[in-house]
Amino acid sequence: MVTNLGAYGVREFSAIINPPHAMILSIGEAQQRPVETTDGGFRFVSQMSVTLSCDHCVIDGSVGAELLAAFREIVETPARIMM
């Protein structure tokens, strides 16, 4: 079930794994936030909170971290999927 979390004011949450699943990815609302630039100024970027819950009997935490890193790469540069 997918819902619009922004409509409820939810910025982030942690999902609970339901057996027989081994992991679940929860994605919060994207928000515009100021980020410092290299020249000392700032610009606004979209940021969102992503949480991966893993059953450590099945998936090691380092594998979960690798999955999150790959997810970040895809979200930040979706054109690379086509390469």
Query: Residue 15: what residue type?
Result: A
pLDDT tens-place string over residues 15-51: 889 889 999 998 888 889 999 999 999 999 988 888 8
Structure tokens at 36: 């410092």
Gyration radius from the chain CA atoms: 16
Q: Would residue 56 show up in a list of annotated catalytic residues for this protein?
A: yes
Note if the pTM is more than 0.75.
no
| Surface-to-core class of residue 3, CB atoms within 10 Å of its CB (0-12 exposed, 13-18 middle, 19+ buried) | exposed
Region 65-79: what's the mean pLDDT?
A: 91
| Domain residue extents for the chain | 5-82
Identify the active-site residue in 21, 39, 55, 60. 60
CB neighbour burial string for 58-71, b if at least 16 within 10 angstroms, e if fewer = ebeeeebeeeeeee
